[in-house]
Structure 1
Amino acid sequence: MLFDTHVHMNARQFLEDRDEVIKRAFDTGVTYMVVVGFDRETIPLAIEIAEQYDTIYAAVGWHPVDAIDMTDEDLTWIEELSQHPKVVAIGEMGLDYHWDKSPKDIQKEVFRKQIQLAKKVRLPIIIHNREATEDIITILQEENAKEIGGIMHCYNDSAEYVQTCLDMNFYISLGGPVTFKNAPMPKEVAAMVPIDRLLIETDAPFLAPHPNRGKRNEPAYVKLVAEKIAEIRQISLEELSEKTTENACSIFKIKR
């Protein structure tokens, strides 16, 4: 039993074969998924997919790269959608300093507004972080995000920040990079995160794990992530799968 906590089945890359990809995941042992919507196009589709499958859920939020496009009406819309029974989190949200579409001050404002919204509707948050760790931690602390907690999605930062994230009531989610031969940091993190605060994901269609690196990622490949982490931690795949599924159901408040 595996839980892909972050997948974009609503992406255009799955337009032609979405149902087949989902079936492959189920056949591989992926019991649960959270489909993440992050703009006007992907949010409705995330909910639509979640409505079609009993064990697929949705998260709704606004990606920092597109922060400049978000309006107050969009925020109100996300709040309304947060009441849907299949919506289990607000996000992905955060800061992305790699791309320059949205100025940093606008990203920070949109980030804060979404944290405040999540606190209002009592849902955990999913954090996107690219080259912005210090600012993300500062904002999470200033906004008291610990109150609701959440997930550090596809954590690819140094191990020194892990305890800070744990202290703020966040889970650490690892994806494809933990399998990359030239990526020591995720492996170090995989070894040190307490087992009861660890999650797995694909971020499909992005970041496909080895040996599929460079190809379209899909939720069935979360098993490769789980296998690698189990190897690093020297535990069985069954134990790793069971515990990360238990953790995901806990943060998302899903009854198994």
Structure 2
Amino acid sequence: MFIDSHSHLDKLDYSNLHSGIDEVIEKAKASNVTDILSVGVTLDAFPHMMELIQPFDNVYASCGVHPLDVESQFSLERLYKFASHSRVVAIGETGLDYHYQPETKNLQKLRFEQHVELAVEIDKPLIIHTRQARQDTLDILRAGNAKKCQGVIHCFTEDLAFAKAALDLGFYISISGIVTFKQATELKEVVKALPLECLLIETDSPYLAPVPHRGKQNQPAYVVEVASYIAQLKGVSVAEVGLKTSKNFHNLFFRQKNSYE
């Protein structure tokens, strides 16, 4: 079994590539992908995402404001309201991105701090995006006592030192299709160095489709390719990668009522 720990199901192409979300879920099931986490990036888009995934018991949700969307409509009241939804298992996607929008740095930091405060208060894990902001990301997580709620560094592309610092905070490291890219040499070494017990796998659909699907729109079924590549790097079976990363998913997002075996 496999779990796609990070997908944007509301952003897939349902006009040409898929007949609807039902087809995407069925394709995932056919590839033995049992569960999917659909991640929110703006508050305005959250209700539509929840309506889209509502019929599917194996699809969970997060709510948050992506660092590249910090200028979108925002209110703490709405964020807290959405975060309390029973299908919401995490807070985010949140974090910092100084690569694409350094001009919004101060607002990104404020929003990030607000997400961390909420996650700690209601004890739901964080989903973190970070790019060219390693030290500020760690500083905000430490200052906000994020070790209490834990979380995941999603679509990991940082170095091993950052990974170890995140692990010290009780965070998991999520590996996307980027690991299959030829140029991702440092990431491959990080994956080799880290134990499976701290890894999750993801697609970040509809982005970053792994080899051999690179250039196509990504979808949850392709998370199996990520697991397969990790298995090759670490010299273990694909089944072991699937089993351990699925267990990690349940341990993180359902730790309060975890019955995973």
Global fold match (TM > 0.5): yes
Q: Deviation at 1:178? A: 0.7
For structure 1, list consecutive stretches of 5 or more residues without a partner in the other structure.
none
SS in 2 for 1:24: helix
Paired amino acid for 1:51 = Q
Matches of 2:210 and 2:229 in 1, distance apart? 10
Paired amino acid for 1:117 = L
Q: Deviation at 1:15? A: 5.3
Aligned to 1:144: 145
SS in 2 for 1:6: strand
SS in 2 for 1:129: strand
Aligned to 1:4: 4
Matches of 2:259 and 2:79 in 1, distance apart? 24
Which whole-Å deviations, capped at 9, do the CAs of 1:182-235 have from their partners, x for residues lacking one? 211221121122221110000000000011112101110000000000111111
Is residue 95–residue 111 contact of structure 1 (8 Å, CA) maintained in 2? yes
Paired amino acid for 1:143 = G
TM-score by length of 2: 0.93
Superposed, which structure 2 residues align to 1:156-195 within 5 Å?
A: 156-195=157-196
Matches of 1:89 and 1:40 in 2, distance apart? 14
Instruction: Check 1:14–1:141 CA distance in 2 against 1; reply closer, same or farther (3 A cut).
Output: farther
Matches of 1:112 and 1:145 in 2, distance apart? 10
RMSD of Structure 2 on Structure 1 (CA): 1.5
Which whole-Å deviations, capped at 9, do the CAs of 1:72-96 have from their partners, x for residues lacking one? x3x2112112222211000000011
1:27 aligns with 2:30: yes
Aligned to 1:226: 227
TM-score by length of 1: 0.94
Matches of 1:36 and 1:233 in 2, distance apart? 28
Instruction: Check 1:15–1:251 CA distance in 2 against 1; reply closer, same or farther (3 A cut).
Output: farther
Aligned to 1:106: 107
Is residue 95–residue 129 contact of structure 1 (8 Å, CA) maintained in 2? yes
Which whole-Å deviations, capped at 9, do the CAs of 1:1-31 have from their partners, x for residues lacking one? 1000000011153455222122101111000
SS in 1 for 2:95: strand
Paired amino acid for 1:200 = I
For structure 2, list consecutive stretches of 5 or more residues without a partner in the other structure.
none
Aligned to 1:40: 43
Instruction: Check 1:168–1:207 CA distance in 2 against 1; reply closer, same or farther (3 A cut).
Output: same
Is residue 50–residue 56 contact of structure 1 (8 Å, CA) maintained in 2? yes
Matches of 2:170 and 2:53 in 1, distance apart? 26
User: Between Structure 1 and Structure 2, how many residues are aligned?
Assistant: 254
SS in 2 for 1:10: helix
Write out the 4+ residue segments of structure 1 that deviate beyond 4 Å after TM superposition: none
SS in 2 for 1:69: coil
1:52 aligns with 2:52: no
Is residue 43–residue 79 contact of structure 2 (8 Å, CA) maintained in 1? no
Paired amino acid for 2:77 = T
Is residue 37–residue 45 contact of structure 1 (8 Å, CA) maintained in 2? no
Q: Which moved more, 1:97-106 or 1:82-91?
A: 97-106
Aligned to 2:253: 252
Aligned to 1:210: 211
Paired amino acid for 1:244 = T
